[in-house]
Amino acid sequence: MHARMTRRSTVVLGAIVAFAMFGGAHAWATSITEPRGGPVVAPVDAAGHLAPITVSATGFPERTAVYVEQCDGTSPTMLRWSPTEHCDLGSSPAAVYADANCNVTFAASDPKHAFFPFVGESPQSLFNCLPSGGAAPNNGLPNFTNCQVRVSSNDADVTLDQQFFGLRLPANATNPPPRTTTTTTLPRRGSKPASTHVTTTTRASSVSSRARSQPGPGANSHNGSTTTAPASGTRGAPAAAARPPTKAGSTDSPGLLGLSDAAVVASYLVLLLGVAVAALSVRRARSRAIARRSPPEPSP
């Protein structure tokens, strides 16, 4: 009877662990559906300007705000990786809300949500994204030829639902010129002729300043990424501590070491505790079963 209860307890604990791993973490089911495959070569228009990329993803709960942004080539599995340091919010268009089928799409034809990749200095001057073999600008920022695109529900912190795909920039690609919007005001009856207002809008979004990490003295190269020391009198001075080595390529999930959310860490601790309790219950049940099968010792 006791063995049955022990087995039931083990099954219940296993169910709790399974729910913690899969049922309570819907974000692990997220994936990028477009573009597919390995590193994506950024498109350009007839003038050589970078063109928008349609980005689609699935697995986000309905009505969840989802963001897309361009990041440097640092692997998100690196310890203490943070999107505020390794991604540029200025490259992010307006958020898209997941539909009833848990899908989001940043359509290239949508002026509010189209994702435009950039080449050279990032909008917030955090890093440089360059074509392979491209000349590095003398701005004191770290250079990457293996930049990537991140899709997530939080552009300011690491999330379980974040997904990445690699980005390759064509040689001689340039950023599109600032977009200009012309607004014509119609005159009222008896008033002066209509006036026309021209508003120039840059590609970078208006965002609050974020923590900025500058490279230290010297120059380092790490598998497709190069860190260049700031020149005297450039915007990169004074420099802070150098960035840690980076890894080339992109990944599909943040990894355990890349998680910094307190709730995520707590979930892992609960998971490990449940596994330990289940293992202990099985061991005790086996010990009692062996003790029952052993013949009693003869009395003296």
Q: Which residues contact 58 (CB under 8 A, 6 or more apart)?
A: 30, 31, 33, 101, 102, 103, 104
Residues composing the chain: 300
Name the average pLDDT for the chain: 75
Average pLDDT for 7-19: 52
The pTM (predicted TM-score) of the whole model is: 0.59
Residue 66: predicted pLDDT: 98
pLDDT tens for each residue of 80-107: 999 999 999 999 999 999 999 999 999 9
Phi, psi values for residue 8, rounded to 5°: -65, -40
Three-state secondary-structure class, residue 277: helix
Q: Provide the CA 196 distance to its chain's centre, in angstroms.
A: 41
Stretch 29-35: mean pLDDT? 95
What pLDDT, in 10s, does the model give residues 38-84? 899 999 999 999 999 999 999 999 999 999 999 999 999 999 999 99
Check residues 193 and 161 and name the one with the higher pLDDT: 161
pLDDT band at 271; cut points 50, 70, 90: confident
Domain ranges of the chain: 1-28+261-300, 35-184+195-258
Say which residue, 298 or 13, is predicted with more confidence.
Answer: 298
How many whole angstroms separate alpha carbon 214 and alpha carbon 113? Answer: 30
Please identify which residue in the block is written with the tokens 């915007």. Answer: 235
Distance, in Å, from the CA atom of 24 to the CA atom of 118, rounded to the nearest integer, reads: 36
* Of the candidate ranges 19-33, 135-149, 162-176, the one whose mean pLDDT is the lowest: 19-33
